[in-house]
Structure 1
Amino acid sequence: MEDTKTLNALALALISTPRANLQELAKAAGISKATLYRMFRTREELIARLSQRAMAAIAGVLESAGLETAPPEEALRRLIEKHLEHRELTIFLWYYWKDAPIDTAAAESWDAAMDAFFLRGQQMGVFRIDISAQALTEVLICTIGGLIDAERRGRVARLGQAAAIESIFLDGAAVRPR
């Protein structure tokens, strides 16, 4: 039986100890080796399941953010908050996107939705137009991933992270009067 808490712990264990075997991952996640082997027979199965779970969570993040309809500032806030709610899966994807068996169509759909959101915000005069929508997409996810990782390493507190990401991002992406 897969539960969110266990999968999140396994995602963090993979990030913290990327070369660990299943026994070491079980220990790091606080579960027995037998429990982990019942859930996943191989490391590849574990990574595939975490990838599938992470992509589903991220699809939910996009859906709930209102990227196509909400005012851009509000959608951005929701986008950041929802990614942080799924911090373990977000950071798992951040670390494993090259190695994980990620559904290419889903990843391209995420990119397209984010790019369209930033383009809409640019057209509405909310985001700078001298930085491409694609670059804004990459900057946002790198900022979110970077702060989640910094928290994991004990460099940044969790409290106030969403507001910090929004402020950092908007102060660099907002249209400025000349």
Structure 2
Amino acid sequence: MDLPAADAKFLKALAIAVVDHQSGTFKDIAEAAGVSKATLNRFCGTRANLIDMLHDHSTTQMNQIIQDADLLQAPVLDALQNLIDGHLANREMLLFMMAEWHPDCLLEDAEERRWQSYSDAMDAFFLRGQHEGIFRIDLSAAMLTEVFASLMFGLVESQRRGRVARAAMPGLLRQFFLDGASRR
């Protein structure tokens, strides 16, 4: 779903407002996003509709990141940098997705398996990188996906709280993912 740029920007603001006011009222969310309750009501109608819109948009954005990263064809390290850049460009939706995550969201019988294609693509990418000798093989591809996602989320959240400089994040994510915390 291609949204007008203004709607995509508004959804990013709303994603952060929902994360910051998870138990807040519709009015609290509107105010945090910098609009009136009436404007928010015209945009989505209800809080449930807003959450659905945010789920749909975040799923679309994460799948677009996967597509744009060219995980199957680009050189592995280029694709990794593309992943990092794409996630950072969509940090608001990433934060929303992480705030909404729950353990049964990937179960076979879950009502919606929104993030399964994302996880599958990431697992396949890390497996490809292992086969090409780029990523270590003593960790499963699924574990590399989880480490990458956790590191990405942790640094984005830390940047939001002022503990990590935004400008340093792309290089920091790449270096830390590839080299870990070991001293050189």
TM-score by shorter chain over 0.5: yes
In structure 2, the partner of 1:50 is: 54
2:141 matches 1:133: yes
- Once the two structures are TM-superposed, the CA of residue 14 in structure 1 deviates from its matched residue by 0.9
Deviations 1:108-157 (A, max 9, x none): 11111110100110011000000110000000011111111111112111
- Root-mean-square deviation (CA, aligned residues, Å) is 2.0
| Residues 55 and 102 in structure 1, CA contact (< 8 A), matched pair in contact too | no
Partner residue, 2:120: 112
From the superposition, tell whether residues 48 and 102 of structure 1 become closer, same or farther in structure 2 (CA, over 3 Å).
farther
Once residues 164 and 94 of structure 1 are traced to their aligned partners in structure 2, the CA distance between those partners, rounded to angstroms, is 20
Alpha-carbon distance in structure 2 between the residues aligned to 1:126 and 1:47: 38
Counterpart Cα distance in 1 of 2:171 and 2:112: 31
Q: Secondary structure at the match of 2:137?
A: coil
Q: How many residues align?
A: 172
1:33 paired with 2:37, answer: yes
Give the aligned partner of residue 21 of structure 2.
Answer: 17
Tell me how far apart the structure 2 counterparts of residues 79 and 11 of structure 1 sit (CA, whole Å).
20
AA aligned to 1:12 is: I
- Look up the equivalent residue of 1:87 and give its one-letter code: R
Q: Structure 2: give runs of 5+ residues left out of the alignment.
A: none
Q: Offset at 1:172?
A: 3.1
Percent of aligned positions that are identical: 42
Gaps in structure 1 of 5+ consecutive residues? 174-178
Q: Secondary structure at the match of 1:161?
A: helix
Amino acid at match of 2:59: M
User: Residue 131 and residue 149 in structure 1: after superposition, are their counterparts in 2 closer, same or farther (change >3 A)?
Assistant: same
Tell me, yes or no, if structure 1 residue 144 matches structure 2 residue 144: no
How far the C-alpha of 1:97 sits from its partner, in A, is 2.5
| Structure 2: distance between partners of 1:102 and 1:3 | 27
Of residues 60, 65, 68, the one that matches 1:64 is 68
**TM-score after normalising by structure 1:** 0.91
Partner residue of 2:90?
86
Secondary structure of 1:15 counterpart: helix
Rounded Cα–Cα distance in structure 2 between residues aligned with 1:168 and 1:128: 14
Q: Deviations over 1:26-47 (max 9, x none)?
A: 0011011110011122211111
* TM-score using structure 2 length: 0.88
Which of structure 1's runs of 4+ aligned residues deviate more than 3 A? 99-103
